[in-house]
Structure 1
Amino acid sequence: MADNNANEYSTVTLSLDDGTECECAIVRIFPAGDNNYIALLPLEGEAASNDEVYLYRYTEKDNGEPVLENIESDEEYETVADAFDEELDAMEYEELYAEEDAENEE
């Protein structure tokens, strides 16, 4: 995974099945069920213009290297998508709370 210092987020470059590469922003790593998952937002191409988010099962090797695995079943994907929706709600809440704190400090 590459850290892109020019922006406020980390990025990862995915090698897609068709042989192309896609740079994605890491939105969040979150738990769902018994596994951790990662949400990636493509930064270019058709997926980026459609605001698509890629969801993968996320683990790390013993040396800390990240491993992304495809979500194989519709049932697992539904569980992960619901958990990601909850994460988005939590992120929005955190942003609102941070804005209120900033306003109160002024």
Structure 2
Amino acid sequence: MNENEVFPVDNEDDDVVVTLNLDDGSEVTCEILTIFDIGEQDYIVLLPLDENGEENPDGEVYIYRYFEDETGAPSLDNIESDEEYAAVSAKFDELYGESLDEE
């Protein structure tokens, strides 16, 4: 994913869905599960969908740093350090792990 790349949002659907343009030129459609913060930094958790718009069977999620510019346009950035990723993953599991297991 390119740093600060804006993604389109499909407002016609009940779930908020975005399309990510990956570095290799491919696209993947994802459902936004949640946006949460740790300290001053926001993070977004995306659930990749298959070609039929269904959740991926192994429950894989993508987690990125999340920003909005002065106009409110969203952008994502990769989490670079293992320590930051571990902290964000733990927070996501703490906040949403149980609700995901119940589905």
TM-score normalized by the length of structure 1: 0.75
Alpha carbons 1:15, 1:22 under 8 Å: kept:
yes
Unaligned runs of 5+ in 1: 96-106
Highest Rg: 1 or 2?
1
TM-score normalized by the length of structure 2: 0.77
Query: Which structure carries more relative contact order (alpha carbon 8 Å, separation 6+)?
Result: 2
Among 1, 21, 44, the residue aligned to 1:38: 44
**Match of residue 52 from structure 1:** 60
User: Are 2:77 and 1:69 aligned?
Assistant: yes
After superposition, the CA RMSD in angstroms is: 2.1
Unaligned runs of 5+ in 2: 1-7
Number of aligned residues: 90
Provide the C-alpha distance between the structure 2 equivalents of 1:42 and 1:10, rounded to a whole number of angstroms.
Answer: 12
Give the CA deviation at 1:51. Answer: 1.3
**Match of residue 9 from structure 2:** 2
Give the CA deviation at 1:33. Answer: 3.2
% identical aligned pairs: 49
